[in-house]
């Protein structure tokens, strides 16, 4: 019989422990559990009553946060340490506010050296658990013991997840004791019962830097793995793949005889100053006094940009002379961008992007080119310049 009573007692104790464990998971951290008892008695002077109470504060039970992985992405490589940003979504766990540690590392890199990943060191998120009496618009939760405009780290303007539904917080009323309320910007599909988690959600940015390209004209591929952790443990490392597309520039020189059109190889038509003409890469002939027009074509056949683009051309001045005022506005060079828009440039050292110094013609080309520096030719784009000389 004693053995039977012992078994029954052990079973009751086990059931009580399980119930208490579940209760802890269903009560918000910092909730004040106040237990008050009253003694009623008559001490000869009449009926009296005295009270005694004790307050227990519910401890924080941490949880492992949830990370929502961003999609893989790509961008044009524009130079060493080109950045590419990825936006992660992190959702709190546990029954109260917590600080989650963020970490990321480079686990793979192709065609680059020195790739790196950076992100905030940590992020703070609020969390609480509903009591009874919540509606679709207002959540009832335990006070966290402080009279302020936030409860367990949740304040107006925050984003929370309730039963898998995302909502913005419009207001918080948090007295020192009792029940706090969280007002939502839009109604929930249904009013949550007691014991439902209210979890803050935020975003953070992971920046992957490309490092320095090894082989130009070939893409860079970088893998970064990111995780978030608390005292309860860490998320599985989440990989993202960053691609940095490389540019691949080519320069081709064409010529045409303006005075007597001819040529045998590499025929291609280009339009300059509204007139389409045939240019050649070889087989053009001329006699003294003929005018030749040279065309220098820059092709970016890659997907990424090529930057700081400058064309330098050494004129064979023993045989030819640059034609002054050959183009509109008494200019010596015409620059034509990928869309066909023309810019007339002079040979003087002035504010435009071309200059002739002795036998050297220098033209800064590409988007954003100035007299001081070359510009950018984007992936898949082509630009060209033309100028004229006469055969001596």
Q: Where do the domains of the chain lie, and which CATH numbers do they carry?
A: 66-244 (2.60.40.2310), 249-391 (2.60.40)
The whole-angstrom separation of Cα 164 and Cα 203 is 17
Residue 16's pLDDT is: 32
pLDDT band of residue 18 (cuts 50, 70, 90) is very low
pLDDT at 2 over 80: no
Mean pLDDT of 58-73: 94
Give residue-wise pLDDT tens across range 204-220.
999 999 999 998 878 99
Distance between CA 151 and CA 175 in Å, rounded?
9
Are residues 374 and 362 in contact, defined by beta-carbon separation less than 8 angstroms? Answer: no
The torsion angle over the Cα atoms of residues 345, 346, 348 and 353, rounded to 10 degrees, is: 0
pLDDT reported for residue 22: 37
391's tokens: 């055969």
pLDDT digits (tens, 9 = 90+) for 186-195: 999 999 999 9
Residue 59 predicted with pLDDT over 50: yes
Paired sense of beta strands 150-151 and 154-155, if any: antiparallel
Indicate the average pLDDT of the chain: 91
Residue 30 has pLDDT above 60, yes or no: yes
Handedness of CA 25, 26, 28, 31 (dihedral sign): negative
pLDDT by residue (tens digit) across 342-367? 999 999 999 999 999 999 999 999 99
Cβ-contact 224, 106 below 8 angstroms = yes
Q: Between vectors from CA 225 to CA 222 and to CA 230, what angle results, nearest 5°?
A: 160
Q: Name the percent of the chain lying above pLDDT 90.
A: 80
6 SS3 class: helix
Asked if pLDDT for residue 32 goes beyond 80, the answer is no
């Amino acid at each position: 019989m004693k053995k039977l009573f012992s078994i029954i007692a052990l079973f009751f104790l086990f059931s009580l422990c399980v119930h208490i464990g579940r209760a802890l998971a269903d009560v918000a951290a910092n909730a004040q559990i106040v237990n008050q008892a009253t003694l009623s008695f008559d001490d000869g002077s009449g009926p009296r009553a005295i009270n005694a109470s004790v307050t227990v504060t519910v401890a924080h039970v941490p949880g492992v946060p949830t990370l929502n992985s961003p999609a893989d992405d790509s961008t044009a490589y524009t130079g060493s340490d080109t950045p590419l940003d990825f936006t992660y979504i992190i959702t709190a766990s546990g029954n109260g506010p917590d600080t989650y540690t963020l970490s990321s590392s480079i686990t793979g890199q192709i065609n680059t050296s020195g790739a790196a990943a950076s992100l905030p060191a940590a992020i703070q998120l609020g969390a609480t658990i509903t009591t009874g009496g919540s509606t679709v618009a207002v959540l009832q939760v335990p006070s966290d013991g402080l009279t302020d405009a936030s409860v367990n780290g949740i304040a107006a303007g925050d984003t929370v997840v309730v039963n898998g539904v995302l909502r913005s917080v419009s207001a918080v009323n948090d007295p020192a004791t009792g029940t706090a309320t969280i007002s939502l910007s839009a109604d929930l599909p249904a009013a949550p019962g007691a014991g439902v988690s209210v979890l803050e959600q935020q975003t953070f940015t992971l920046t992957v830097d490309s490092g320095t390209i090894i082989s130009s004209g070939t893409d860079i591929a970088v893998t970064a793995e990111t995780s978030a952790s608390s005292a309860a443990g860490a998320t599985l490392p989440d990989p993202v793949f960053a691609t940095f597309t490389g540019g691949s520039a080519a320069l081709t020189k064409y010529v045409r005889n303006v005075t007597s059109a001819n040529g045998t190889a590499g025929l291609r038509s280009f339009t300059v100053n509204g007139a389409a003409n045939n240019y050649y890469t070889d087989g053009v002939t001329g006699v003294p006094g003929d005018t030749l027009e040279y065309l220098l074509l820059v092709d970016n056949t890659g997907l990424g940009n090529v930057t700081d683009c400058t064309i330098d051309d050494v004129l064979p001045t023993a045989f030819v002379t640059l034609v002054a005022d050959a183009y509109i506005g008494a200019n010596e060079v015409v620059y034509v961008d990928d869309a066909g828009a023309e810019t007339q440039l002079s040979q003087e050292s002035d504010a435009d992007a071309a200059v002739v110094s002795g036998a050297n013609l220098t033209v800064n080309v590409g988007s954003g080119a100035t007299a001081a520096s070359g510009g950018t030719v984007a992936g898949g784009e082509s630009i060209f310049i033309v100028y004229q000389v006469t055969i001596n």
